[in-house]
Amino acid sequence: MPKLSTRIQRFRKGSPLSFRLLAWILLFISLFTLITSAVQIYSDYRKDISQIDRRMEVVESGYSSSLARSLWALDQKLLQTQMEGILSLPDIVHLRLRIEPDSELVMGEIPRDSETTSHSFELVHQGDEDFKLGELTITADLDRVYKEMERKVAIILTTQFLKTLLVSILIIWIFQHFVARHLTTMANYARDFSLKNLSRPLILDRPDTHTNRTDELGKVISAINQMRERLNEDIGRQERDAAEIRKFSKAIEQSPSSVLICDRQWHIEFANQKFTQLTGYDAHAIVGKHPGSLADNNLENRESRHLWQSIRLQVQRVGVWQGEVNSIRKSGERFWEQLIVTPIKDGNGEVTGYLILGEDISIRKRYEQQLLRQANYDILTGLPNRMLALDRLKLALAQARRENSQVGVMFLDLDNFKHINDTLGHDAGDTLLIEAARRISSCLRGTSTVARLGGDEFLVILPGLTGPDSSSQVAERILQTFSAPYILNGQEVFVTTSIGIAIFPSDSDNSGTLLQHADAAMYQAKHKGKSAYAHFAPEMTEVSHERLQMESRMRRALELNEFELYFQPIVHTDSGRLASVEALLRWNNPAMGMVMPDRFIPLAEETGLIIPIGEWVLEEACRAAYSWREATGLDIGVAVNVSPRQFRDPGFTGTVMHALKNSGLPHNQLELEITERLILDNSIETAEILRQLDSAGIQLSVDDFGTGYSALSYLKSYPFDTLKIDKSFVQDVMKESDDASLVRAIINMAHSLGLKVIAEGVEEEAQTHFLKQEGCDLSQGYFYSRPLPADEFESWLRTNQRVVQA
């Protein structure tokens, strides 16, 4: 228990409120007491004064008649006795009797130092007539009254003061014990309150009873503790939010995509490391700038602003902008990036800024441009290929329709090219094609187009013709340039060409028919005896004689069992181990000899004969694969080529399933090779059929990749397992660095899409090393084995058992 002095000191220091309260209470009670005491004393004083007045009135009423009688009777003795009687009364100190007419009797003494009060009355003899005898003046001393008043004042003041003091102390103690010390505890708690001790609750030094809990202090304590808990929760939530934000900002900062965050006015607020890496702009230096005005060059900025204006409009209208942009680095170097721009919205859906994600797609773009070039131009001659030629033809026809002019379409085929190729070799064949292309081009005007359709076929488009004669002149000029010899392998070789001409609009008004007519005319020219040209004539509408013959022979080929399957192994590039086999169709015709598929498959497609032929191939290939499986115990899959026409046949999936069922070959042992051309048809049915086949477990591969559009998008959207790089690229990987980088890019891209890669046409060991090094999964080509008839392939299997089983 602390000493009283300490308690007082602590009370005075620590409780100024109590101290001030005490002073105020004391002052108030003192004033109150003083006023009430003053009122009390004054009323007592008034009472005493009026008692003296009453006493003097009693003297008047009691003594006036007896004094008048004594005076009338001139009884001096009685008069004196009576006056002495009056003087003996309390407080009466002086009597003056004035007797008429001029004498006076005085008794007592008027005190000098004290206050007095006087009362006079007349003494009258009452007879028939009233007779005034004199007047008595009584003087009373007020000294006693005043003394009494002083005494009372002293007593009242003392008692009231003590009472007040006691009451005040009691009140203060009560206030201090029940309120003030708790307020001090609360003040100390509030002073020490910080985020570090949020877990410590506020507790008062008093019993935890229901009454205490529900009184005002209890309510304040519970409110403070609730506030503390809420604060605790809020801080916990804030810390969690902050951790989340830190995580997200790290993710954005380290994102492999470049990230720009702009405010609502498209001023940059943030740029991540990748953005700096990609563009060379310092993240801090560009804050506040518009993403379209980063370059120092005004011209570039204008161009970029224009783009950003349309981006802004689309983001506002559609909510997102996505596209490929040819951006500029700080160094001025241009690069391609894929941008996605989206608004950032707050909880109310209000746009608060914009997010710009960028990805460097320069490599892909370069590759696409390379592929696009290859898709549109013939690699060997640099001329437009079939695809581009057809586009140009359509454009020329559209223009001719508008201008009412004519267009000449020429189909050229080199005579005896196959023979030259076979005898002088492929390189000589290539040189011949390049030179032929140059000579044809030299005969044309700038507006004309010359294209290589494939093999030794060329197409010439002559827009703005004045009549058929002008096309004849061109044809003659071409025949003329062909008359000079070619130097192939150091030898002079004479090569001629046959030209078929069809004219728009007189021969046909659509591009497909015009081409057919020019083709028919070309056959006619060949029949004429080569180095000739022929204009289309309606009687040529029927396909050429040869083609007709071939068609009728092909129709019977199935019945006559003239078709045969050859098999070529596909091996694992790294180990050389057998992976599967490709089935390749051959036609053994007694009249035409061994016909290669490139010669008859297009006609089979055109005539629809490919459907029964393809069915036979599927049945045959599955059956053969199953028999090897039975014979060797190995899973040897078989790859079968499927042409677009087969795919379009509604019964195609049924045919495939039937072949599998009939043979007993597991579904995943059959691989269907589909050309890019088919996928570019892009009909919904194609996608649906591919999905059906894929879900049946059948393997799907893209054949001849690189020769068509090579659009990467379809690889992503269709369920392919394998991609076959066309042999034309593989064959030159050791000679052409372009082809090597293309093959490398295709392998990387296919792997990144989860596809296996087969390299076709591997002929040399060096190619296998290159492919191995580039991680190409599978290889196929003469280096491993040429396509073999079934029995020869079986003996290959036996003799290469090590390879097969390794």
Ligand X SMILES: Nc1nc2c(ncn2[C@@H]2O[C@@H]3COP(=O)(O)O[C@H]4[C@@H](O)[C@H](n5cnc6c(=O)[nH]c(N)nc65)O[C@@H]4COP(=O)(O)O[C@H]3[C@H]2O)c(=O)[nH]1
Q: Which residues bind ligand X (CB under 6 A)?
A: 568, 584-585, 596-598, 601, 614, 617, 641-643, 673, 703-704, 727, 760-763, 780-782, 787
Q: How far is the CB of 578 from ligand X (least distance, A)?
A: 15
Structure tokens at 488: 């192939």
If you ran DSSP here, which 8-state letter would residue 349 be given?
S
Nearer to ligand X, 641 or 663 (CB): 641
Supply φ then ψ for residue 111, to 5 degrees. Answer: -65, 145
Residue 16: both structure tokens together: 């100024």
User: Which tokens belong to 792?
Assistant: 């020869």
Cβ–Cβ under 8 Å, residues 100 and 66: no
Shortest separation between residue 622's beta carbon and ligand X, angstroms: 13
Minimum Å distance from CB 668 to ligand X?
20
Q: How far is the CB of 726 from ligand X (least distance, A)?
A: 7
Q: Which is nearer to ligand X, 601 or 679 (CB)?
A: 601
Nearer to ligand X, 110 or 594 (CB): 594
For residue 656, the minimal CB distance to ligand X (Å) is 13
Supply φ then ψ for residue 566, to 5 degrees: -105, 150
CB-nearer residue toward ligand X: 536 or 647: 647
Q: Which two tokens stand for residue 656?
A: 């495939």
Look at residues 497, 510, 279 and name the one whose alpha carbon lies nearest to residue 400.
510
Nearer to ligand X, 518 or 757 (CB): 757
Our CB check for ligand X shows the closer of 385 and 780 to be 780
579 touches 637 (CB < 8 A): yes
Closest separation in Å from C-beta 549 to ligand X: 21
Smallest distance, Å, CB 349 to ligand X? 55
Is the CB of residue 304 less than 8 Å from the CB of residue 290? Answer: no
List of residues 6+ apart from 324 with CB closer than 8 A: 336, 337, 338, 339, 361, 365
**Which pairs count as long-range contacts for 288-291, CB under 8 Å and 24+ apart, including other chains?**
290/266, 291/260, 291/262, 291/266, 291/356
The residue number with the shortest CB distance to ligand X is 781
Residue 76 class from Cβ within 10 Å (0-12 exposed, 13-18 middle, 19+ buried)? Answer: exposed
Q: Which is nearer to ligand X, 286 or 601 (CB)?
A: 601
CA pair distance 798, 624, nearest whole angstrom: 15
Beta-carbon contacts of residue 714 (< 8 Å; ≥ 6 apart) = 676, 679, 680, 682
Sheet holding 351-360, edge to edge: 268-271, 258-263, 351-360, 334-345, 321-328
Residue 515 vs 762, nearer CB to ligand X = 762
- Least CB distance from residue 620 to ligand X, whole Å? 9
Helices (H), 362-510: 362-376, 386-403, 417-424, 426-442, 468-482
CB of 653 to ligand X, least distance (A): 16
Considering beta carbons, is residue 8 or 594 the nearer one to ligand X? 594
Q: Least distance from C-beta 554 to ligand X, angstroms?
A: 13
| Distance, CA of 570 to CA of 783 (rounded, Å) | 11
Q: Among residues 614 and 637, whose Cβ is nearest to ligand X?
A: 614
